[in-house]
Structure formats: C-alpha cells, structure tokens
A and B are shown apart, each in its own frame.
Chain A
C-alpha cells in the first residue's frame, strides 16, 4: 500500500524543513523517499495549500492508571456534562476533565495527536496503567515508571549501595513496568509523608532513611544516564505549589551533578514570594536558568481557566492543597511501600489572583525560554486543564493580540504582577512543530516518530492554514496513523490500536535475587507478579509493544 501526500507545506524540524512545499510518500505505514520504479500509487491526497506535520506527541499526560480512574470515579457530575454516544465506528464514553479511555483516544486523534505518555506509572500499579492505555484507541502510548519514594530504593540508598546496584534496580523497574523512562515525584517526599513529615526541601532528610531529595535525584539521574535511557530523569520537583518554590527549582537545576533532567509542569514550581500577597512570578529566573543550562528541559503544565481535577503521585502536596478542592472532595492514598496518590478537583478562576497569576506564569515561561527543543507544550492533563484545550493554548502562544486580550480579562492584581504584556514573542508553526513533534520525540526517545524522514512511522497530521490557530489546530483535515487515514475533517473515520513504546536497558539480572527477597520479606505480592508482560499489553489482540533503542541519550553537563 503506497500513499502519496502531494504538494503540502511541510514543517519537519527534525530535518530542518520549515514550510517547504513537497510530496511525502508512505508505504505500508512507513515513510519512504520515493516510490520504486513503476510502483503504483494506491491513494493520493492533494494537499496544496495545506500544512503538513508529523503527528503530535504529548510527552506528559495522565491517561492511565489508578489515580486517573480514581479521578473518573470521583467526578460523575463532570462526566454527566459531556456524554459521548456511540457511533457506527466509535464506542460510547464521556469526556471533559478525565475522559473515558476510548474517548481519550478518539479526541487526541481528532486533534492531530498520535501519541501520549503517562508520566506516573507506579510499578505496583503498572499493569492497570497499561490496561487503561490498552483501551485507548488510535494513539501510541507509553509511560515513565515512578521511583524515588519507593522503600526499595531508599533502603538501598540508606545502606549506601553502589551506583551499579541502583542502576540494575532502575533498569529492572523499567522492564517490570514496561516503561520509556523514570519519573521521580517529590523525591523522597511521598515516603516522608508516611512518616508524618509535611514538607521536604531539597536538602531535608527523610525522617526514617536520613536520605535527602537531592541525593535521590543524584542517584536516579545518574542511573538513567548510565543505562543509556534516552529520556532524562523526569522530575516533579519538591514543594509543588508552594510560594517561594522557585528557589528549590533553581537549586535543582544547578545542583544535581549536571546529569540531564526534565523538569515537568515547571509552572507549578516557579513561584516567588514578592508583592503584597507574597505570591509572585519566578518565570524570568526559571527561563534564564533553562536557557543557560543545556542539560535541562521542561514542560510547562499550563493552567487554563475552568473546572478540572488534579491527579498526582505527590500525596504530600495534594494533602496540603486539599483545602482548595472544588467541589469539596478529594482522595489521598499511601500505596504499597511504593508511592502514593492524591486526587483533588480544582476550578481555576480568572478573577482569582493566584490562579490568574499561575496562568500568566506558565505563558511567561513558554515565551521566555529561547530553545523550543527544550520546552514542551503540556497542561499536565488534567491537572492544569484537560488536553482538549491544547488548540486554545497554541493560539495563546502564536497570537500576541489574542494573548493580550485574554490577559486584560484576568484579575487586575495578577496583571500588575506579570510581565506578560511586555513580551512580544509569537511562536511560529515551525516552533510549534518542534515542541509538539520533533522535540517531544527526541526527548521521549522515539526514534521513528515525530518526524517525516525515510523510515519514520507514517503518523502525519494535515491542517488547513488558518490565522485563527485555535480553529486550525482543533480540527485537522487528515490524520494518518501508521499510514492509515484515521481522522478526516476532525472526525474519526477508522479506529486502529497504537503501539506501547518501551525501552529495555541492559542490566545484571542477578539483582533479582535481592529484589525477590525484598518482596518475599516485606510485601504482599511476589516479585514475579509485579512484572507486566508483553502479553498483558497485547492479550486482547489489539495492542503491541515496540521497543525503542537505548541510544541517543543527552549529553551530561561537564
């Protein structure tokens, strides 16, 4: 099967292609340079005047696993507001803040996204995360396994185990959880909360283990680097949401031995304490630090106004913030000597000073970070806003007039505390393609996604150029997934089931003796039963595992 996309205006930053009119060919789901001599073209799409990009990749979105399903269970009223009937092609479900899995897949695809990565896969809950992602159609998926408050790692650190042992344990976890990388959430803090500590700064010790968050970050970032895992350690910092946490974040950027770090939903970690209300923007300092430190990347975790729900592994912070729950109900859990979770519904209001300034801080970070290869477009779905608000967010970045009009409507006190009005930058289509495609694929370690070169998967999105960028990005003309036309004019026309991307770093399997003993002594399940097999992912005959190479890792800061 050979398809030809003719004459579109192509944005493919992985190959430096910036708005060039060209043809693209895809044979049996993969992009090829040109047809063989005499090869018949089975389908041709005339894309004259259309914008062509690789399928978009959401590198941080909560789409599967226990806390997501708790969020669904917690908010029936939100689901009642957005019922999704079944059609001839698509199954029924519901949408808004935490959509059902099927609706999640359809809506991502209808927005031109072809992959999404669940950033908080608890090893003890990894099977559920993969089951939910397995019921998420069309898009590819994958996840980052959560470590850093698990008792196994903290015990190893307290015993001062050598780095090789830590590396083996980290690699084992990636295999067992079928993950693309490692995430750390409030390093050591989730464990500390179980010992009744309520805050844990970078150099504060866990009351039981006497281990600090900085040491956890050092150990894990080094492990990820030495294992050759392409995705740098994915860091949800300490002190989320606390005024003044900009200092912790800057300290994290500077003080983890120079190993590559990805700082996630950095907006929530960029708060100062200036002004009458002791809450101010740290965006300029954060952006400056990212600009200077080439081993650091970040996604924003933009908030947008309206009802949503926050779902996090960081139950220490979520418990602290539970008083803000709207509606007033929340779930916190201590989980399996492994991690925790906290689910707190939020309604961000544009006239609320703090919420309005959070909105401005996120946008300031987007606009002040120079390098679009190291800053990523997320709302930390659903924590800042549901992923369905991405087209609106893209418009805010690409259209200064629109942005300033929105700014003029928020809390006047927040406007006064923000430099946003003075920032002229508008993102280009090329930069958006970097952030949401080429850069995201490189960051996650997807070697055959996010670009349109020979051998890449034919995950392709086609838009009609429209000065209203929200309209343009909300409704692509065509979306191809692995060469299949899955969306036409913004609606699903074919349902496929994407791959689950994983890495399989090499390690010394003799570590299993120690891990098995740990599970037998302290846990309520056997080590072997923690492992998610390929079969658990592929069992229903729809999904499959795609192993990405452990190569192309980022450079350590010398």
Chain B
C-alpha cells in the first residue's frame, strides 16, 4: 500500500509504503521513522472487552459503561486520543451526559490556547516552512524526538518553490540543555548555531530576545548564561531574514507559566512583521490533540477543558483540567480515550473508570470497564488534523479488524443512557 498516512505524530507524513501480511500485520516498507515503525508494527489483536477485569461481550461492557456515566453527575471524558469522527461522538456524548472534556496533552497545548485567547499570534503551516524559511529558530526542543522527519521534509528538502538553495538555510537552537542538534546540520556539513540555557531560564532569554528585536538596549551582559551580544546578533539576523520561522513545542516548555514565554515568542514575531516577514510555528498534533480542540471548538464554541455540566458549554483552562477535576473531586467518573497509543494510560484515580483503549494497552489498575477500540489509520478510516491545525488528512483502513471504532462504541453508550 502506497501513500499511506501515519497519524503517530503531528507531521502526518502521507508518503509511507506499508506492507500487510495474511495475518494483518503491517510493516513500514518505505519512508518510515522510528515512530511510524512502532505504530504500524503493533500486531493486530482483538482482545475482549472487560468488566471488573472479566471478559464480557461488547454489549455488556457498553451497558456497564452507560450505567457508570448515567450515575455520574459530572463525568470527565479525558485522554481524547482519537480522530475527528471519534471526537464528534465524544462531543455528542458529553452534551448528553453533562461531561467535562480534556485532552491528555492539554498541559502543553493550553499554553498555546491561552496565548491565542489573550493576544493572538502570527503563524504559518508546514508547506510554507518547506518553501520559504531562511532562518529557523527552535526554542527548547530538538523537534526530531517528537517529529522525526521534520528536517527531512521541511528544511533540507532540496527543491523549494522560490529558487532558494535549501542547504543554505540557517538553524539556531535557542534554550534547553544537551539537545541533540545533529538534525540541524546542513547537507554540506555546516553546523547549526546553538545557544543553550537551562530550560527554566528560557523565559528570561526569550524576554531579552524580544526586547532586543524591539530595539531596546539591555544593561545585562548575559541572560540565562547566554551573552547578550549573542542574543543581539540573533535579533539582527531575525530582522534581516526574509522569512524567519520560530518553532516551539508547547509540551516541552514544561515550567510554570510557560504561556508567557510562548507569548514572548509570538509577540516578537508580530514585531518582526512590521518590517519583514516572520512566522511562529507551534508544533503539536500528537495523539489527536488538534482533532480534539478543533472539533470541540466548532461544536461547543470552545477548545477542550470545557464542561457541559450546566447544560451549556463552559470553558475554563484551569478548573476543567484533568488534574484539577480529579484532585478537587468535581468529577465523579472518568472515561479515558487512547486509541493511537497503548502507552498513554489513564491517570490514577479511585473514581469509576471506563477505558476506551488501544488493543495493546496494559493497565496497572484494572478499570471498571475496558473496551478495546480500533486504531484509526490502521483498523479503520478517519480524519486527522496536522500539527499546523489547518491541513487535515484522511486516514485509511489498512486491514480488516474485529474492533469497533470509538464512534460506534460511544454512540451505543449514548443510546443506552
């Protein structure tokens, strides 16, 4: 099978060749990466649903799940690792059940959402990067451990649309320690610039860089261990670049109030655009976080961390987080969805729990109900939003599967409520 789309990171590479054997095992034959090989390489399985750890048929599991949700006053539907059709079913069930919604990656993603809600931003999509970037500044991440083919597809892509020799592109890693910068080495061996600092120093460094780009002078000679002269040079390069791109992965910026650092990046990009062109590049789209936020936004009017408890949607990035709802006792049942990744298991809780999981999922604590669901893009079709939150791609069914889709299971539960 050619032109297969891999949903296991936000790049959604759609040029994979995948082979299938008689047993339905899949093997990436071309254009694979470590992530896609892992994703497609998981052997087909169709374990039984379980109630209280005992195998039951799907109907019984659905009935028990419906009972748990029906008895709850404020269930939490979390994880949300699913594609668009699954997410549509989540929204419908949440409305009916008065549930709260949160995604497993929201602690990172909300840093971006809060910036959009507070000041907006100026960003671009992957094909623009591929054809335009002349200076790429990467904040606090190596990118490739999350998005393995990023440099191959968007930076060292050889041919670009506007006569640019892509091997001359300049790469700067800013912030973070011991980051693997090898992917940033140009095809001709030219090394990227690296300005490292402790992750916790990133806010100070970005604030300083933004100030310098805005033309302000700093009294300090170093910030976070980086010489201000180096930051000044970077500021001048950003101002001189024709189309700079500043990339970050919000989940990696794991320190208090990282949204303010994201905001320093995005406001700096706005400043650069007064005279030249520049775009932010928020990287995400892992485990369907874009699907969850897009579908939630059009159906409820808000991104996730939204609750239907009062019969209408309410959004609160703090109160409706999974951590907060579990800690405060405001949720009284939890539904956990992870259909792409068996390793993303639910957080520990004493609440009645229903897990809609990847067939390979192993759980330390047996939930009240476990319902294995098909993997989108392998066991069934779907639609998936990419990291840039603009492009969506169809996911194919690559093998026959006895597993139901998340949408089928949730619709059955909703009917039974």
Contacts and interface: CB of A to CB of B under 8 A. Distances in A.
B297 A92 contact: no
Nearest to B311: A85
Contacts of A193: 277
A69 interface: yes
B154 interface: yes
Given A73-B297, A329-B118, A540-B88, A334 B273 contact: no
A497 to B, nearest CB: 13
B3 A526 contact: yes
A319 B297 contact: no
Interface in B97-117: 113, 116-117
Given A94-B300, A330-B120, A529 B394 contact: yes
B393 A525 contact: yes
B119 interface: yes
Interface string A133-165: 001000000000000000100010000000000
A329 B301 contact: no
B117 A131 contact: no
B3 A92 contact: no
Interface residues of A, number: 66
B3 A343 contact: no
Contact of A333 (B84, B122, B277): B122
Given A72-B302, A125-B391, A343 B120 contact: yes
Contacts of B154: 524
Contact of B85 (A330, A525, A540): A540
Contacts of A336: 125-128, 388, 390-391
B117 A74 contact: yes
A93 interface: yes
A84 interface: yes
A428 to B, nearest CB: 38
A521 B159 contact: yes
A228 B96 CA distance: 46
Nearest to B315: A76
B326 to A, nearest CB: 23
Interface stretch (A38-46, A99-107, A507-515): A99-107
Interface in A270-295: none
Contacts, number: 192
Interface string A58-91: 0000001010111011101001100111100001
Interface string B213-253: 00000000000000000000000000000110000000000
Nearest to B393: A529
A539 B85 CA distance: 9
Contact of A69 (B298, B383, B388): B298
Q: Which of A94, A208, A334 has the most CB of B within 10 A?
A: A334
Interface in A507-558: 521-526, 528-529, 533, 536, 539-540
A525 B243 CA distance: 22
Nearest to B407: A540
Interface string B113-153: 10011111111111110111000000000000000000001
Contacts of A521: 159
A460 interface: no
B357 to A, nearest CB: 23
B327 interface: no
A196 B134 CA distance: 14
A110 interface: no
Contact of A522 (B123, B161, B315): B161
Contacts of B193: none
Contacts of B130: 522-524
Contacts of B310: 85
User: Interface SS of chain A: helix, strand, loop or mixed?
Assistant: mixed
Interface string A327-348: 0111111111110000100000
Contact of B3 (A66, A73, A329, A529): A529
Nearest to B266: A331
A211 to B, nearest CB: 14
Interface in A97-139: 98-103, 122, 124-125, 127-128, 131-132, 135
Given A91-B95, A131-B84, A536 B242 contact: no
A102 B299 CA distance: 6
Contacts of B118: 329
Contacts of B92: 91
A337 B313 contact: no
Contacts of A528: 3
B392 A127 contact: yes
Contacts of A66: 389-390
A194 interface: yes
B314 interface: yes
A227 B354 CA distance: 54
Nearest to B274: A319
Contacts of A79: 301-302, 313, 315
A334 B125 contact: yes
A182 B242 CA distance: 31
A76 B313 contact: no
A523 B390 contact: no
Contacts of A195: 277
A135 B299 contact: yes
A73 B113 contact: yes
Contacts of B303: 73
Given A73-B116, A196-B277, A101 B299 contact: yes
Contacts of B124: 333-335
B276 interface: yes
Nearest to A98: B301
Nearest to B302: A76
B160 interface: yes
B5 interface: yes
Given A74-B116, A83-B313, A208 B162 contact: yes
A93 B5 contact: no
Name the 10 nearest CB pairs between A and B, nearest first: A94-B301, A83-B312, A85-B311, A329-B120, A334-B124, A100-B301, A85-B312, A330-B120, A79-B301, A336-B127
7 contacts: A72-B302, A76-B117, A79-B313, A92-B311, A131-B298, A194-B277, A334-B124
Given A85-B312, A337-B127, 10 more contacts: A66-B390, A76-B117, A91-B92, A124-B127, A135-B298, A193-B277, A194-B128, A329-B117, A334-B279, A539-B85
